[in-house]
Amino acid sequence: MKPIFLEQRGQTKPSSSAINSTGNLATASSSVVDSVLTAYSAAITTGNGRGALLLAVIGGTLSEGINFSDSLGRGVIVVGLPFPNPHAAEWKAKMQYITSKATRGGKDGKATARDFYENACMRAVNQCIGRAIRHRGDYAAILMVDRRYGSQRIQAKLPGWIRGSLRNDASLRGVVSGLNDFFETKK
């Protein structure tokens, strides 16, 4: 129904993909990131109102330094929380340093390290959302799919303008109804 463009795992240059006439996902290697973005933009602007899907990884090639304002980004779906790998040597060292520094300062070192770790994750989420909403008149539906987004500690790390419009609806019917209402008000 919609052309799909995606970033391949482990690929230094993304590829564009589209549903072919047989209904299968067809992948064509792209020579540069710009060609995927150009094809995606063309599908949005000249696609007879069908739109398109762009699938990317937070922190991946397609998500760095690219803005999807206006009709290029009317929906963002964030699946999960993009926590850094806590077992990576760099993160182990950071967490040990933060814990020891906070403990020396009379604070709870583990809580301080956990807060730093969560902030790194939520900074990535906030940057992802910010790529789609670029100015005052811009809008996008943002779906955050993970029950941890329902916790007060995680919600407190979202910008106030997002917190003010959060809805906690786990039913598909409620989500679809909410999306229909949202886009109807934007017409």
Q: What is the pLDDT along the chain (187 residues), one digit of tens a residue?
A: 888 988 755 444 434 444 433 343 334 443 557 778 888 888 998 877 788 998 888 887 776 667 788 888 898 899 999 999 999 999 999 999 999 999 999 999 999 999 999 999 999 999 888 888 888 888 999 999 999 999 999 999 998 988 888 888 778 999 999 999 999 999 8
pTM of the model as a whole: 0.77
Q: Where are the alpha helices (DSSP H) in the chain?
A: 33-46, 89-104, 109-130, 152-155, 160-163, 172-186
For residue 19, what pLDDT is reported? 42
Residue 143 confidence (pLDDT): 92
Backbone φ and ψ of 142, nearest 5°: -120, 120
What pLDDT is attached to residue 8? 58
